[in-house]
Amino acid sequence: MTIQIRHLDSAQPDFKQRLETLLAFEASTDEAIEKSVAAILHDVKHRGDAAVLEYTNKFDRIPGGAASMAAFDVPQAELQAALRALPAAQRVALETAAERIRIFHERQKEELRGFTYTEPDGTVLGQKITPLDRVGIYVPGGKAAYPSSVLMNAVPAKVAGVAEIIMVVPTPDGVKNQMVLAAAAIAGVTRVITIGGAQAVGALAYGTATIAPVDKIVGPGNAYVAAAKRRVFGTVGIDMIAGPSEILVLCDGTTDPDWVAMDLFSQAEHDELAQAIMLCPDADYIAKVEASIHKLLPTMPRAGTIRTSMTDRGALVKVRDMQEACDIANAIAAEHLEISAEDPQQWADRIRHAGAMFLGRFSSESLGDYCCGPNHVLPTSRTARFSSPLGVYDFQKRSSVIFVSEAGAQTLGKVAAELAYGEGLQAHARSAELRLRPAA
Amino acid sequence: MTIQIRHLDSAQPDFKQRLETLLAFEASTDEAIEKSVAAILHDVKHRGDAAVLEYTNKFDRIPGGAASMAAFDVPQAELQAALRALPAAQRVALETAAERIRIFHERQKEELRGFTYTEPDGTVLGQKITPLDRVGIYVPGGKAAYPSSVLMNAVPAKVAGVAEIIMVVPTPDGVKNQMVLAAAAIAGVTRVITIGGAQAVGALAYGTATIAPVDKIVGPGNAYVAAAKRRVFGTVGIDMIAGPSEILVLCDGTTDPDWVAMDLFSQAEHDELAQAIMLCPDADYIAKVEASIHKLLPTMPRAGTIRTSMTDRGALVKVRDMQEACDIANAIAAEHLEISAEDPQQWADRIRHAGAMFLGRFSSESLGDYCCGPNHVLPTSRTARFSSPLGVYDFQKRSSVIFVSEAGAQTLGKVAAELAYGEGLQAHARSAELRLRPAA
């Protein structure tokens, strides 16, 4: 099996254009999917459980066909049984990961406590932080069923103090993924329902007789799920619609080339659209990484996916120096950024945009994907320019708190009235003026 | 001029259904607007400045027609001149408001500093906070041109540390709103461009030869602007798409009824779709507020809008007690919640969902709209269940930082490999295992 890797050099006169072309990814909208999803959501909104039951029996090929929604509820005892039945090593690994994720996310919660301050005239201003009441977590079924995603989505909600965490996970052909159920048990999910697709998103957003409507839906899914989430946005909150996963490795040429090659593979094996790029100032080292790629590819069970992804969307990029590598990294705003270098902090300090930064040669992305603690749900497709990893803050919101004292109303009222008249909003002005004491 | 106000009573058997009907608001999608916006965005993306120039000359009826984009740039000197030309009272009011907004938002910035912690094996985990590089602020032109919105959108971006704040504001018939320009000067906007509509949103999102692409677009606009923002979401960040504005007043019957009536008006005067609701346990007091409404309405310059809004979407609701009022308020999750009562804090403590809370009878919403300090851009249409006021945090994002020590890689690597094999992601597992020291 051969692999053709794209080489770029920042010294090329058309480098910027080449890089743009490499990064370009336009999520295409499939009209057939859009129409189908719109119809399913409308049906679920109006027929509720009956619609969800029909779609689930049909799309997930439930053996025999479930007679009622009750058949899709997974009792807590079944979750606990799945956890007990796991091989010991797997259970310990899941529990260790969950605990580390919890600890990191507790730090996020500590940071956001709200505040209050009192002005000399007794006016009090502040910001109150509250958790969402009820959230839905979508977990894909079938081959892309990832217990680690259950932890990464549910643990932050739990830490935020969300009272009810409703997880939906389709079970094609009625087959349940035991590791996913075990992860739900560890994460403290309130309720697991084995439904999926646009019908599950609709049920969570609008509610049915058996499913209470949630305030926000998070978690990855296929094109139908993504389209459904976009459509219910506004009725409920949603997380970002994720694009293909990406890794950008900045390397100064001091890391074992096999390690870097395998890090690139670990992204490429996800998906044929995944993107793995290395930036390095050392041409000899780039050649070594390429040799490692050729050597290691045949040993990979998912070699086909890796080869397609690396060929279509991967690149090895020669840069002038690490400083330039950082500038390019800021333009790319990668989901995962490895800085595999001596003294990585000096380069990290120059990075303004990245979903997660992995510093030093021991910090492979795969460690972060599972168990370092920070979330693995990260902004893709350059959205790290303006968005953040999934976190506790996604399950909290703020309310402003304003208590104006009688004295405060005297000064603030005049300012507000002046501006309100300037904007032609007289009731605003009068509302402020009514609170003014009559002049003595 | 008469006004018919809806009365509800929480003791009615169908109260819950009546309340749902009252609150129901479905933002309809206008297919003609969608198609028009899609075409404009496509055109701006591909023809850049030429398209923006044409649309602006046409839609904004620029007298004589501008010859180039340069004509739409408002020099900083013109902003400063607008500020100097303001009546002194207006200038002081704007500057006072801006300073108070800045102080409140500095508190938001202080709260979010990022964190870092080191584990016993030397592994370091953390979260880095960075501002967005460049943001676009949309300011409506014409009759709904609000200088206060310039402050509320630009000041948080400035406090966050955004390097470039690009404001777009259409000038129908070439008329510039001097108070809006003055507000831009006070807020420290980097650049003001007198373009608007979907073409301005497209220019900010995709960039043109004369306008650098931004990372996020915030600010209110008409249906075309809202449709355009939805469409460019993903390419750039956007704030929430706002629905009609709402106020919910919880009153224990101790506030001057004229004050409450005027507070309801101050919401109703915005828009015929605005919603003003009062909850109160005291039937006599409700009658007094209704009398105030009838008495005060004829004195209002915007009486027509107020009457339509109050008739179509307003309500006076009799509740059992203040405790029940708080429960209903949590279900409504209002944009603006006034708790006009003795000892308002006891009720505020029971509120989980509201955009902003105004406590005590002197805290009219209008004071908060202009100059208390907290933001007046708030979640509407029950989205306060899951979203927050506009704030400094909307102009910042987080990056996870992961430095795994060699020792840390030994323990974390085994956990990650176990889970990666469980998920069938062998390159992930191998990437972790390569960092393990060979067993002695």
Give yes or no for residue B49 having a pLDDT over 90: yes
How many CB atoms are located within 10 Å of the residue B397 CB?
28
Q: What is the mean pLDDT of chain B?
A: 95
Search chain B and give the residue with CA nearest A367. B416
Rounded to the nearest angstrom, the minimum Cα separation between B23 and chain A is 13
Chain A partners within 8 Å of B332 (Cβ): none
Other residues' Cβ atoms within 10 Å of the Cβ of residue B345: 14
Burial letters B402-417, b for 16+ CB under 10 A, else e: bbbbeebbebbbbbbb
**B105, pLDDT greater than 90:** yes
Q: What pLDDT was estimated at residue A1?
A: 59
Asked if the model's pLDDT at residue A438 lies above 90, the reply is no
How is B364-396 classified by DSSP, letter by letter? Answer: -HHHHHHTSSS-S----TTGGGT-----GGGGE
B172: its two tokens: 């129908």
Is the pLDDT at B289 greater than 90? The verdict is yes
CA distance A178 to A94: 13
- Tell me the β-bridge partners of B398: B129
Per the prediction, chain A carries an average pLDDT of 95
Q: Find out whether B381 is annotated in a ligand binding site.
A: no
- With a CB cutoff of 8 Å and minimum separation 6, the contacts of B296 are B258, B261, B262, B265
pLDDT at A440: 58
The pLDDT of residue A121 is above 90: yes
Whether the CB-CB separation of A268 and A296 falls below 8 Å is answered with: no
Which chain A residues are Cβ-neighbours of B391 within 8 angstroms?
398
Task: Identify how many contiguous H helices and E strands chain B contains and give both numbers.
Answer: 17, 15
Q: Which domains does chain B have, with CATH numbers?
A: 7-27+243-372 (3.40.50.1980), 31-238 (3.40.50.1980)
Question: Is the pLDDT confidence value at A27 over 90?
Answer: no
Catalytic annotation on B106? Answer: no
DSSP codes of every residue in A134-146: EEEEE---GGG--
- At residue A142 the predicted structure's pLDDT band, cuts being 50, 70 and 90, is confident
Residues of A whose CB is below 8 A from B420: 366, 369-370
- A302·B427 Cβ contact <8 A: yes
- Calculate ∠ Cα A71-A237-B334, nearest 5°: 115
Given a contact cutoff of 8 angstroms between Cβ atoms, the answer to whether A395 and A216 are in contact is: yes
- β partners of residue B340: B251
CB-CB under 8 Å, B384 with A397: yes
Is pLDDT above 80 for A149?
Answer: yes
pLDDT at position A336: 98
Nearest to B196 by CA among B72, B45, B303: B72
Chain B residues closer than 8 Å to A186 by CB: none
List the strands of the sheet with B7-9, edge to edge: A115-118, A124-131, A396-403, B356-359, B336-340, B246-251, B275-280, B315-318, B7-9
B402:A434 CB<8 A: no
| CA proximity to A179, closest of A101, A90, A73, A270 | A90
Residue B438: pLDDT above 90? no
**Whole-number percent of chain B with pLDDT over 70:** 98
Residue A310 pLDDT exceeds 80: yes
CA proximity to B278, closest of B322, B225, B238: B322
Cβ distance B125 to A265 less than 8 Å, yes or no, reads no
Token pair for residue B291? 């009398």
What average pLDDT does this structure show over A177-192? Answer: 97
For the ranges A138-142, A368-372, B97-101, the lowest mean pLDDT is seen at A138-142
* Predicted ipTM of the assembly: 0.95
Catalytic residue among B335, B338, B365, B376: B335
- Please report residues of B whose CB lies closer than 8 A to that of A363: 402-404, 409
A/B interface, count of CB pairs below 8 Å: 379
Per mean pLDDT, which range of A238-242, A304-308, B120-124 is the poorest?
A: A238-242
Please give the order of strands across the beta sheet that includes A191-193: A73-74, A191-193, A164-168, A134-138, A216-218, A237-238
CB contact under 8 A, A427 and B266: yes
**Contacting A residues, span 95-124, partner chain B, CB-CB under 8 Å:** 96-97, 104, 107-108, 110-115, 117, 123-124
A245 assigned to a ligand binding site = yes
Please enumerate in sequence order all residues whose Cβ is within 8 A of that of A125, keeping only pairs 6 or more positions apart, or say none. Answer: A116, A117, A119, A400, A401, A402, A403, B104, B372, B373, B374
Q: How many angstroms separate the CA atoms of A325 and A331, rounded? A: 10
Q: What is the mean pLDDT of residues B342-364?
A: 98
**C-alpha–C-alpha distance, residues A170 and A200, integer Å:** 9
Q: Does A76 touch chain B (CB under 8 A)?
A: no
Residues 216-245 of B with CB under 8 A from A: 216, 234, 236-237, 241
From CA A400, how far away is CA B351, in angstroms rounded?
12
The pLDDT assigned to B127 comes to: 98
The DSSP code for A383 is G
Given a cut of 70, is residue B213 above it in pLDDT?
Answer: yes
CA–CA separation, A98 and B314 (whole Å): 48
* Residues of B in Cβ contact (< 8 Å) with A366: 416, 420, 427-429, 431-432
A387-396: average pLDDT: 98
- The mean pLDDT value for A180-202 works out to 98
Q: Contact at 8 Å (CB) between B196 and B174?
A: no
Candidate from A22-26, A188-192, A287-291 with smallest mean pLDDT: A22-26
Give the separation between CA B436 and CA B440, rounded to whole angstroms: 11
Crossing angle, helix A31-47 and helix A49-59, to 10 degrees?
Answer: 140
Amino acid at A137: I
CB interface of A with B, residues 282-341, below 8 Å? 300-302, 306
pLDDT value, residue B28: 67
pLDDT digits (tens, 9 = 90+) for B290-328: 999 999 999 999 999 999 999 999 999 999 999 999 999
pLDDT grade for B181, boundaries at 50, 70 and 90 = very high
Any known ligand binding at B270? yes
Interacting residues of A336 by C-beta distance below 8 A, sequence separation 6+: A245, A246, A247, A248, A267, A354, A355, A356, A358, A365, A368, A378
B113–A111 CB contact, under 8 Å: yes
With beta carbons less than 8 A apart as the criterion, state whether A400 and A117 touch.
no
Cα diameter, chain B: 92
Q: Answer whether B157 touches A (CB < 8 Å).
A: no
pLDDT band at B27 (very low <50, low <70, confident <90, very high): low
- pLDDT confidence band for B439 (50 / 70 / 90): confident
Which residues of A are annotated as catalytic?
Answer: 335-336
The pair phi, psi for residue A277, each rounded to 5°, is -130, 140
| pLDDT of residue B2 exceeding 90 | no
Cβ–Cβ gap A353/B117 under 8 Å:
no
Confidence of residue A40 (pLDDT cuts 50, 70, 90): very high
Instruction: State the pLDDT at residue A24.
Output: 87
Q: Which band of pLDDT confidence, cut at 50, 70 and 90, is reported for residue A2?
A: confident
Per-residue pLDDT tens digits for B415-435: 999 999 999 999 999 999 999
* Residue A28 pLDDT level (bands cut at 50, 70, 90): low
Pick from A400, A411, A433 the residue to mutate for testing the B interface (most B CBs within 10 Å). A400
The arithmetic mean of pLDDT across residues B169-191, rounded, is 96
